[in-house]
Amino acid sequence: MTIVVERLELGGTGRTVMVKDTIDIAGHPTRASSRALEEAPDAERHADVVQALLDAGCRIIGKTSLHELAFGTTGLNAWTGTAENPRYPGRIPGGSSSGSAAAVAAGLCDFSLGTDTGGSVRVPAACCGVFGLKPTFGRVSRAGVMPAETTLDCVGPFAASIGLLIEAMTAIDPSFSALPTVSGIRIGVVPVAANPEVQAALDAVLEAADFPLEVMPLPGMQAAYDAGLAIINRETWNGCGHLVETGLVGADIAARLLAASNTSDAALADAESVRAAFTAEVDAALARCPILALPTMPDYPALVADAFDTRAAIGMTAFVRPFNLTGHPALSIPFEGASKLPVGLQLVAAKGADELLLAVARELVQRLEQ
């Protein structure tokens, strides 16, 4: 299993952690699973989140593989090899934080860190059957994380339990406070077009969890998805486009980067207008229902053999990418559909309400376990 790209032994005797290889660890190169960065110099200092882990007494035991340059949703990588999906063999691990999700699913660490620019924590969490959180944009420090400049990307944790996910946030977010009570919380169910088995599984979960529910349409989702793609394309080209000329970037990523270079200033301006409009739409929905619920992915994860056209796989992020655009916190809770394949329930909360989001997720899981 090509999950761990470098074994490490840093820190105390607390929780064991692996981190995505877009996050700097002093004395080690940050290669982002790209041959183009094979000769990258060692990082001079720890990323803020790495230092926070060490300050919390965690033990960092490895760096994990990813979809090259964090620019893909399947997790396939011809250079490092593709991380095997431990719980659902033959299925893609999801990207871009494939190794971080797979490491948790395989029981290699207590929790792991990934990054999420267009679903890159929540999608692999759903594919590998673990919990994954994208915090509010800007809440967890990105100092020392690739790419340096972004309006979308967030560092977020994976864990096999909601309790460990909460522990991870406590470690990496100095502002993280005690979880609030969730009595009377109403969940807004966002209608989307998903595989009927996926939708049926999550409808059953929400019914069994017994929160008050209200249908909460978000008509701007498709426009927000398109806008999120335009912005990630421009920002990734700005951050990584120079690597194409090395001739060492994988063909799939090189083609996607070159296509991204054509993102016009007009398209970017339109995307920013959509960002403002959809953010207002989501805020209005959250004013009525403090938590929104929808599938993490529209379908089960594809078979690895069927997933080599990464551009065709971008639609996997249809339900997650819009919340990178707006910056709201969102997490994926693992379940299974009738075919015994993984589905994720995505919950979304107001900006800064990460504690409420995790409190509702914990309560939902506890109710289902009773």
Residue range 201-218: average pLDDT? 98
Domains of the chain: 4-369 (3.90.1300.10)
Residue indicated by tokens 């009570």: 181
pLDDT score recorded for residue 370: 84
* Beta strands in the chain, from DSSP E residues, in sequence order: 4-11, 16-20, 59-64, 111-116, 131-134, 154-159, 187-189, 213-215, 291-295, 330-336, 342-349
- Residue pLDDT, tens place only, 298-320: 999 999 988 886 665 778 999 99
- Residue pLDDT, tens place only, 102-116: 999 999 999 999 999
Instruction: Spot the catalytic one: 98, 100, 120, 332.
Output: 120
CB atoms inside a 10 Å sphere around CB 3 = 27
Instruction: Spot the catalytic one: 20, 63, 134, 351.
Output: 20
pLDDT score recorded for residue 129: 98
- Residue pLDDT, tens place only, 133-165: 999 999 999 999 999 999 999 999 999 999 999
82: pLDDT strictly greater than 80? yes
pLDDT score recorded for residue 311: 61
The full DSSP string for 220-268 is THHHHHHHHHHHHHHHHHHHHGGGGGGT-S-HHHHHHHHHHTT--HHHH
- Residue pLDDT, tens place only, 5-30: 999 999 999 999 999 999 999 999 99
On whether the CB atoms of residues 152 and 232 are closer than 8 A, the answer is yes
pLDDT score recorded for residue 308: 82
Q: What is the dihedral of CA 275, 280, 286, 287, to 10 degrees?
A: 170
Instruction: Spot the catalytic one: 33, 34, 96, 97.
Output: 96
Does the annotation mark 20 as catalytic?
Answer: yes
Pairing relation of β-strands 291-295 and 342-349?
antiparallel
Element holding 172 (H helix, E strand): helix 162-172
On whether the CB atoms of residues 16 and 110 are closer than 8 A, the answer is yes
Structure tokens at 100: 């971080």
- Residue pLDDT, tens place only, 44-81: 999 999 999 999 999 999 999 999 999 999 999 999 99
pLDDT score recorded for residue 312: 58
